[in-house]
Each structure stands twice: as C-alpha cells, then as structure tokens.
Amino acid sequence: MKTRATVGRHPIHPMLIVFPIAFWIGSLICDAIYHLGPHNFFWKDVAFYLMTGGVIGALAAAIPGFIDYLGLQDRGIKRTATTHMVLNLIVVALFVFNLGIRLNGTPESGALDVILSVVGIAILSVSGWLGGHLVYVRGVGVSEHGGADSDEIPRRAA
C-alpha cells in the first residue's frame, strides 16, 4: 500500500520521525545528567533546545504522516493509524506543556519536567510500536510491487 507523501517513491514520514524521537530522548538524557550530576544549568538548557527541536520535528513529520493517513482505505488500518496519530498529538502536547513549564520556571523547580518527559517518551514508544505495526505487519508505505516496478538496482550479469 503506497503512501501519497513521497520523494522519489520513498515515504517522507519515516524519514522525519527519527528527529523528534532522538531529540526528545536526548532531552531526557540531558535532564538525567543535570539531576544526577553536578546540577550544571548547561544540561537544562540543552534539554530545552532539544525538546524544542523535537516539537518542530514532530510537526514537520506530522504533515506527510497526515497526508498518508488521508489515503488509507482499510478500516482496521485506519483505526490503528488514528490511534497512532492521537498518541503522537498527546506526546507533542506534553512536550509543549513541558517547554512552557521550563520557560516559566526555574531549573530546580521540581521534577515535573522530567516526569512529563518520561511519560511522553513512554507514550511515544507505544505510538512507535503502532507505527511499526502499520508498516511491517499491515504493509502501509510498502510498495506492493517488487522487481521491475521497484527502485531496486538491476544486477549485472557476471
């Protein structure tokens, strides 16, 4: 089942999702370094900017993801994709709220920011599992035709 949002027959959504995932996990690691280490404010700043990059990256990934979503026909696949999308929207909302807390609070204002990051990444893990299920089990974004219609490089005869 091919996707609509592609570049050279390669789906865009999976190319972009790696950025928010990496940035949000990186922000949690920076928070851990801050809380478990010498409480250097540098790590809170890095966590803030990584979180901001994650939100921007998630919004960028959502555009081709939504375009692909609109092209889904199968009800079971659409239901799974809807759950995937709603969970991702919840994650983005959690991280936007987390940014607001960090912007208006102080680095030592408590552990709520870290708790929100942990919850966000836990929900993101479930959503990622559903995204993987859509691709690897249900075939969303995978070309139905291999061989001559695919982008494979033909092999030369030896």
Using one digit for the tens of pLDDT, what is the confidence trace for 124-143?
999 999 999 999 999 887 76
- Mean pLDDT for 95-101 is 95
Torsion sign (Cα): 139, 144, 147, 152: negative
Q: What is the pLDDT of residues 28-85, one digit of tens each?
A: 999 999 999 999 999 999 999 999 999 999 999 999 999 999 999 999 999 999 999 9
Give a yes or no: residue 151 inside a domain: no
In the block, tokens 């991280």 appear at 95
**Considering only CA atoms, which of 120, 122, 118, 114 is closest in space to residue 44?**
114
- Mean pLDDT for 107-122 is 86
Give a yes or no: residue 156 inside a domain: no
**What is the domain range of residue 93?**
6-143
pTM for this predicted structure: 0.85
For the chain, the domain total comes to 1
Give a yes or no: residue 152 inside a domain: no
